[in-house]
Amino acid sequence: MVMAVASGDLLSEKASAMRASLERSQTITDDVVSILGSFDHRLSALETAMRPTQIRTHSIRKAHENIDRTLKSAEAILAHFDQYYQAEAKIIKGPHEDVKSYLEAIDQLRRNIRFFNNKKGFKNDDGIAIRANNLIAEAISKLEEEFKRLLSSYSKPVEPERLFSSLPNTMRPSSASPGHDDDSSSKNHSYMHSEPHKNNADTVVYTPPVLIPPRILPLLNNLTEQMVQAGHQQQLLKIYRDTRSKVLEESLQKLGVEKLNKDDVQKLQWEVLEAKIGNWIHFMRIAVKLLFAAERKVCDQIFEGFDSLGDQCFAEVTTNSISMLLSFGEAIAKSKRSPEKLFVLLDMYEILQEIHSEIEILFKGRACSKIREAVMGLTKQLAQTAQETFGDFEEAVEKDATKTAVTDGTVHPLTSYVINYVKFLFDYRSTLNQLFQGIEGESDSSQLASVTMRILQALQTNLDGKSKQYKDPALTHLFLMNNIHYIVRSVRRSEAKDLMGDDWIQRHRKIVQQHANQYKRNAWAKILQSLSIQGLISSSGGGSTAGGDGGSSGASRAVVKERFKAFNTMFEELHQKQSQWTVPDTELRESLILAVAEVLLPAYRSFVKRFGPLVENVKSSQRYIKYSAEDLERILGEFFEGKNMNDSKR
C-alpha cells in the first residue's frame, strides 16, 4: 500500500516537471516568433531603402552595354572606311601591276556598299555609297581595258606548221602546205590522208593546239566574272568577238582558206578546182577538229559559270570563219554539174559526215543553232547535187555521141571510163548508201545496185549504137564482144560482184558468147563455104563437106584450083584485116582463136586431103596449096594483135 502511494507521487512529480518544461518551450517559441517577425519587418524596410540604388545600378550596366555596342559598331564602320580607302587606292592605281589585288579591291568595295546599305544611318544617296558605286564603275571600265589587253596580247594566229603537227602522224602533209595552188601534190595530200581516217576514224586522235597559255585563262575568267556582275555582258561579248574572230580568220587564211563564190569557181580550170577541193576537205578537218575545238576550250574556260554567254561568244567568234569555209562548199554544190565532179562531191559530203558529231558538240546551245543549220544545209545540198549528178551521168552515158574511132574493135574509151567510174563509186559504197537512205521501198544496197545496173545498161545501149558505125558485121560483133566482156570481167573482179549478183554475170557472159558466135559466122562462113564440096562434084552426096569418103572423082580440076585460090585470097585478106583488130583480153583472144581453129583446120585438112591430089602434079602447085594446116594454125595466132597496116605488109 505504502509502495503504491510512493509510485503515484513519483508520477505526479514527473508530470509536473513535463508541464513546466512545455510551458518554457512555448515561451521560447513565442519569443522566436516575435524576433523573426521583427526581422521580416526590418528586411522589408531595407529592401525598400535599396530599390533606388538597384535601379541606378541596372541603368548604369545598360548604359555600359550600349556604349560597348556603339564602340564596336563605330569600329566596324571605321574598318569599312579604311577598307574602302585601301580599295580606292588600288583601283586608282589600276590593274596592270596586280590584277588579282585589283579584283579583290572591287570585291571589297561591293562588300562596303552592302555594309553601308544595311546600316540605318546610311542611305544610298549618301556620299560614301555614291563614291563607292562610281569607283566600281571606274574599276569595271579599267577591267574591260585589262581584259582586252590580256586577250589581245595572247591572241595570235596559229601557224600552219603548228596545226599540221597537231594532226595524227598518218594525216600530216609530207611536203609543202596544201594551201598553194601550184603545188601539184596538194590534192594527193588531202585524198591520201582522208583514206586512213575513213577506215580508222575511231582510233585517230587529234590534239588541238593551245591558243592561250593555261595560266592566263583563270585570270580572264575572274575578269569575266566581275564584268558580268557589273552587267557588262555586251561589252565583254564585243571585246571577245572582235579579238578572237579576227585571229581565227587569220589562222585559216594562213592555212590557205579562201572565200570563193559560184562565179569564182566557174572560172577555174578543173585541175585547179580539183586541187582546191582536196585542200578544202583538209581545211575542214583541221578547222573543226583542231582550231574550233581549241577555241571552244578557251571559250569554256574563260566563261566558266556563264554557259549561255560562252555559247554566244563562241558562235560570234566562229561565224565568219565558218562562213568562209562553207562558202566554197556552197559554190561547188551550186556550180555546173559534170560527171567528174561526182567524186569530189562525195569527198566533200564525207568530210561533213565525218565532222558531224564534232559540230554538234562544239556548236551546242541555242546561240550556235544557225551554224549547225548552215553545216547541215550544205551537207544536204551536196547530197542532192551528188544524186542529180548520178542522173546526169546515166543520161550522158546513154547519149554519148563522141566520134572517137575504135577501128580495131577493142574496148571503147567510153567503156573503160564508165567502168572505172563505177569502180570508184564502190570505194564510196557506205557514203552512197547514206545518200540513198530514205528511198521508199528499197534498201540502200538494192538502190545502189539499181543505179549501177542502170548505168551499165545505158553504156550497153550506147555501145550498140556505136557498133553500127562498122561496115563489117564481124567487126561489129567483135567490138560488142570485147566491150561486154570487159564489163563482165570488171564487175567480177570488183565489189560490184556481190551487189550485181551471179544471175547478172551469167546473163552477160551468155551475151559475150553470142557475139563471139556471131563474129565467127560473119567472118568465117564464106571461107568455110570455099572448103565445101558443094559445086565440085556431080555425084550424089552434094552438099557434104570435103571430108567425105567419096574421093575427088568427078571434081573439076579447074574448079578445085579456083577453090584453093579463093581460099588463099580470103584467108590472106582475113589475116591482113583481122591481125589489125584487137581482142585485148588474152584469155578471150586465145579462146576465140581456138574456136575458129576448131572449125577451120579440120575443114581445111579434109579439103586438102580429098582435092589436093588434083593440083599437086600441076605446074606451080604451091600457088594453090600455099598453106599447111600447121601454117594456118600459126597464122591464126597472129589474129587480133592490133598490128598496124605496115606491120601486116612486112
pLDDT attached to residue 356: 95
pTM here?
0.71
Per the structure block, which three cell numbers stand in for 545?
Answer: 563437106
Nearest CA to 481 out of 501, 452, 508 is that of: 508
pLDDT attached to residue 648: 47
Distance of CA 220 to the CA centre of its chain: 33
Sign of the Cα torsion 464, 465, 467, 468 reads positive
Residue 94 has pLDDT above 70, yes or no: no
Tell me how crowded residue 275 is: count the other CB atoms within 10 A of its CB.
Answer: 24
CB 393 within 8 A of CB 420: no
Q: Which residue has the higher pLDDT, 477 or 438?
A: 477
Q: Which residue has the higher pLDDT, 544 or 170?
A: 170
Q: In the chain, what percentage of residues exceed pLDDT 90?
A: 51
3-state secondary structure of 532: strand
Tell me how crowded residue 421 is: count the other CB atoms within 10 A of its CB.
Answer: 17
CA dist., res. 406 & res. 352, Å (int): 42
Residue 617 has pLDDT above 80, yes or no: no
Residue 80 has pLDDT above 70, yes or no: no
Please write the tens of the pLDDT for every residue from 378-437.
Answer: 999 999 999 899 889 999 998 888 777 789 999 999 999 999 999 888 888 888 888 877
pLDDT attached to residue 529: 93
CA dist., res. 597 & res. 571, Å (int): 13
pLDDT attached to residue 77: 61
Kindly give the interhelix angle for 99-118 and 2-93, rounded to the nearest 10 degrees: 130
Residue 326: phi and psi, rounded to 5, are: -70, -25
Residue 196 has pLDDT above 60, yes or no: no
Confidence label for 194 from pLDDT (cuts 50, 70 and 90): very low
User: Which region among 198-207, 419-428, 528-537 has the lowest average model confidence (pLDDT)?
Assistant: 198-207
Residue 523 has pLDDT above 60, yes or no: yes
Confidence label for 56 from pLDDT (cuts 50, 70 and 90): confident
The highest-confidence range among 25-29, 136-140, 242-246, 340-344, by mean pLDDT, is 242-246
pLDDT attached to residue 310: 94
pLDDT attached to residue 521: 96
3-state secondary structure of 582: strand
The highest-confidence range among 90-99, 174-183, 215-224, by mean pLDDT, is 215-224
Q: Which residue has the higher pLDDT, 272 or 122?
A: 272
Kindly give the interhelix angle for 293-302 and 217-229, rounded to the nearest 10 degrees: 50
pLDDT attached to residue 27: 79
Confidence label for 190 from pLDDT (cuts 50, 70 and 90): very low
pLDDT attached to residue 192: 37
pLDDT attached to residue 79: 60
Residue 188 has pLDDT above 50, yes or no: no
CB 511 within 8 A of CB 570: no
Looking at CATH, the fold of the domain delimited by 160-168+207-379 is given as: Monooxygenase (1.20.1280)
Residue 83 has pLDDT above 50, yes or no: yes
Q: Which residue has the higher pLDDT, 179 or 248?
A: 248
Q: Which residue has the higher pLDDT, 177 or 367?
A: 367
pLDDT attached to residue 606: 94
Please write the tens of the pLDDT for every residue from 571-606.
Answer: 999 999 999 999 999 999 999 999 999 999 999 999
pLDDT attached to residue 385: 93
**What mean pLDDT is predicted for residues 623-632?**
92
583-605 b/e (C-beta count within 10 Å ≥ 16 → b)? bebeebbeebbebbbeebeebbb
Residue 641: phi and psi, rounded to 5, are: -95, -5
Confidence label for 39 from pLDDT (cuts 50, 70 and 90): low
CB 352 within 8 A of CB 382: yes
Residue 298 has pLDDT above 70, yes or no: yes
Residue 211: phi and psi, rounded to 5, are: -90, -35
Q: Which residue has the higher pLDDT, 635 or 19?
A: 635
373-395 b/e (C-beta count within 10 Å ≥ 16 → b)? ebbeebbebbbebbbebbebbbe
Residue 362 has pLDDT above 60, yes or no: yes
pLDDT attached to residue 548: 40
Element of type H or E holding 646: helix 645-649
CA dist., res. 141 & res. 643, Å (int): 89
CB 178 within 8 A of CB 279: yes
CB 182 within 8 A of CB 276: no
pLDDT attached to residue 75: 62
pLDDT attached to residue 544: 35
Please write the tens of the pLDDT for every residue from 306-321.
Answer: 999 999 999 999 999 9
Q: In the chain, what percentage of residues exceed pLDDT 70?
A: 77
User: Which region among 34-43, 149-158, 246-255 has the lowest average model confidence (pLDDT)?
Assistant: 34-43
CA dist., res. 146 & res. 341, Å (int): 51
CA dist., res. 204 & res. 192, Å (int): 15
* Span(s) in the chain for CATH 1.20.1280.170: 160-168+207-379
3-state secondary structure of 641: strand
Residue 474 has pLDDT above 90, yes or no: yes
Alpha helices of 367-443 — where are they, by DSSP H?
A: 369-399, 413-427, 429-435
Residue 54 has pLDDT above 70, yes or no: yes
Beta strands in 294-354 (DSSP E): none
